[in-house]
């Protein structure tokens, strides 16, 4: 199962890389056209070669690796036909009404989205928020293409800054998300300097910030350059942007090749963790049910002995053995065991008091404990106490090791079973 998860993460990373390189390649090709002013037929031939490469790669992914490419093959074919019609309109037949093709494409995408959602509803399948957003963005891009074709055929007389209004809106939203992400990366860098975050979080965060910039600031610069050129027939920073994109693509690709393991672990952590829900950044997620003895040494590091925590990855190994190792029991509980042999009234009173506190939080002695700290795996503390504790310091209250995450657990209905409810990442 873990090998499959690792393979899926690898595939996802390379899919993201493929998307970034292709989108940047389209921009680089058009910038070269603006710089050297070569024939439009040569421009379209470069785009067609890129489309052929995309179709080959998508077909290989679908046939050999059984990857889900959805409708990307059809989208690429439609894009190739659109480029052919643009070439006919610009070079050979100026009065060709290409906008009618864009109307047909818009209708096709709308009907496709409608049919897909109706099919999911009829099959009692849930429409994910991610799928809904992607479908909406595709429709907006088709509408953007329709505005471009209407401008080329002089159906509308807007300036090019207005024609790209839909793209501007999407890029502004992307920039806001990117800016928020940059703030979190700045905090990660500060934490790394103070030894409160690890190398994986630093490298993975920086790489993803560079990646996200490929879909925010750089495309905005590209649209600004294209609009300026179409309005004035002059080039301002075209050559500079051309060099920046080439260097930037090489930087992102080389960073992925050099630090792939760190980026992979960072992505696994992002996948395991959901968005923060409280000020304590708790990550809501359902996990595993595991067998654990009901009576357990709560503050021992063997509290969840079957959990393995390594390089920010949490795995669960099922075991029928007791999670309490006799050699690691604390002296206090060895004392409890010896006290049970005493028969004096005072000893029995002390033993009763100890038993009353045994199932309580080891800090407040009031609430039942439900927290396990990672990576040290100490427990015996309740959620309210760990929240107050983390406001003052970030180290375990027993061994003083830095707390990176903590698990919130709950007892199952069955005797001797617990459920890991969620994982909270400690900043």
Beta bridge partners of 276: 283
Of the listed ranges 83-87, 118-122, 271-275, the one predicted with least confidence: 271-275
Confidence of residue 395 (pLDDT cuts 50, 70, 90): confident
* pLDDT-derived band at 350, boundaries 50, 70, 90: low
Q: Which residues contact 40 (CB under 8 A, 6 or more apart)?
A: 33, 87, 90, 91
Confidence of residue 414 (pLDDT cuts 50, 70, 90): low
The segment with the largest mean pLDDT, out of 46-60, 277-291, 330-344, is 46-60
What pLDDT is recorded for position 247?
96
Could you tell me which of 14, 42, 13, 11 has the C-alpha nearest to residue 29?
A: 42
Q: What is the mean pLDDT of residues 311-319?
A: 43
Contact between 1 and 33 (Cβ < 8 Å): no
- pLDDT (0 to 100) of residue 4: 57
Task: Give percent of the chain with pLDDT exceeding 70.
Answer: 73
The pLDDT of residue 311: 45
Q: Which of 35-44, 225-234, 267-276, 390-399 has the lowest mean pLDDT?
A: 267-276
Which domains are present in the chain?
2-272 (no CATH), 282-425 (3.30.40.10)
333: three-class secondary structure by DSSP: helix
User: How would residue 396 be classed by pLDDT, with cut points 50, 70 and 90?
Assistant: confident
Model confidence at 355: pLDDT above 70: no
| Averaged pLDDT for residues 414-427 | 62
Residues 6+ apart with CB under 8 A from 310: 375
What is residue 299's predicted lDDT score, i.e. its pLDDT? 52
- Single pTM value for the model: 0.63
User: What is the Cβ-side half-sphere exposure of residue 67, based on CA atoms within 13 angstroms?
Assistant: 20
Mean pLDDT calculated for residue range 185-211 = 90
- Weakest-pLDDT range from 27-36, 144-153, 238-247, 339-348: 339-348
What whole-number distance in Å separates Cα of residue 366 and Cα of residue 360?
6
Helix (H) or strand (E) holding 417: strand 417-425
Gap between the Cα atoms of 97 and 154, Å rounded: 10
Mean pLDDT of 232-243: 88
Buried b (16+ CB within 10 A) or exposed e, 18-36: eebeeebbebbebbbbbee
What is the distance between the alpha carbons of residues 47 and 300, in angstroms, rounded to a whole number?
Answer: 63
Q: Which residues contact 227 (CB under 8 A, 6 or more apart)?
A: 159, 160, 161, 163, 164
Distance CA 311, CA 261 (A): 10
214 pLDDT exceeds 70? yes
Condensed to tens digits (0 to 9), the pLDDT of residues 165-187 reads: 999 999 999 999 999 999 999 99
- Which residues are registered as beta bridge partners of 314? 309
Non-local CB neighbours of 147 within 8 Å, separated by 6+ positions: 156, 158, 163, 165, 166
Largest CA distance in the chain: 107
The percent helix, strand, coil of the chain (3-state, each to 5) is 60, 10, 30
Q: Is the pLDDT of residue 389 over 60?
A: yes
- Residue-wise pLDDT tens digits, 246-295: 999 999 999 999 999 999 988 887 765 543 443 444 444 344 444 444 33
With a cut of 50, say whether residue 372 has pLDDT above it: yes
The pLDDT value given to residue 277: 41
Does residue 338 register a pLDDT over 50? Answer: no
* DSSP E strands, 18-147: none
């Amino acid at each position: 199962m873990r090998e499959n998860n690792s393979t899926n993460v690898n595939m996802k990373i390379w899919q993201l890389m493929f998307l970034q390189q292709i989108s940047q390649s389209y921009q680089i090709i058009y910038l070269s056209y603006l710089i050297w002013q070569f024939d439009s037929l040569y421009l379209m031939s470069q785009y067609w070669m890129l489309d052929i490469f995309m179709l080959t790669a998508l077909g290989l992914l679908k046939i050999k690796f059984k990857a889900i490419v959805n409708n990307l093959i059809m989208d690429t074919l439609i894009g190739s036909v659109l480029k052919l019609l643009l070439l006919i309109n610009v070079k050979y037949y100026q009065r060709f009404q290409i906008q009618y093709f864009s109307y047909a494409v818009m209708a096709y995408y709308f009907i496709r989205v409608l049919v897909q959602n109706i099919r999911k509803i009829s099959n009692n399948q849930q429409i994910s928020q991610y799928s809904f957003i992607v479908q909406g963005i595709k429709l907006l891009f088709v509408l953007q293409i329709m505005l471009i074709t209407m401008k080329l055929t002089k159906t509308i007389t807007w300036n090019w800054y207005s024609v790209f209004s839909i793209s501007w809106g999407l890029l502004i939203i992307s920039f806001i998300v990117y800016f928020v992400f940059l703030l979190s990366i700045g905090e990660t860098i500060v934490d790394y300097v103070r030894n409160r975050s690890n190398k994986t979080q630093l490298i993975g965060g920086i790489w993803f910030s560079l990646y996200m910039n490929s879909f925010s600031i750089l495309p905005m610069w590209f649209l600004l350059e294209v609009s300026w050129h179409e309005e004035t027939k002059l080039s301002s920073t075209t050559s500079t942007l051309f060099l920046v994109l080439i260097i930037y693509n090489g930087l992102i690709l080389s960073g992925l090749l050099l630090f792939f393991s760190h980026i992979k672990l960072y992505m696994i952590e992002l996948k395991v963790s959901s968005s923060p829900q409280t000020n304590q950044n708790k990550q809501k997620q359902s996990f595993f049910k595991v067998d654990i003895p009901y009576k357990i040494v709560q503050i021992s590091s063997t509290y969840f002995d079957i959990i393995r925590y390594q390089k920010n990855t949490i795995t669960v190994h099922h075991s029928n053995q007791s999670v309490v190792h006799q050699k690691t029991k604390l002296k206090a509980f060895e004392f409890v065991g010896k006290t049970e042999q005493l028969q004096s009234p005072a000893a029995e009173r002390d033993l009763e008091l100890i038993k009353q506190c045994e199932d309580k939080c080891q800090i407040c002695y009031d609430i039942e404990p439900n927290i396990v700290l990672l990576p040290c795996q100490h427990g015996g503390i309740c959620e309210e106490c760990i929240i107050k504790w983390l406001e003052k310091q970030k180290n375990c209250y027993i061994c003083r090791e830095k707390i990176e995450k903590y698990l919130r657990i709950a007892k199952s209905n069955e005797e001797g079973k617990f459920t890991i409810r969620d994982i909270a990442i400690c900043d």
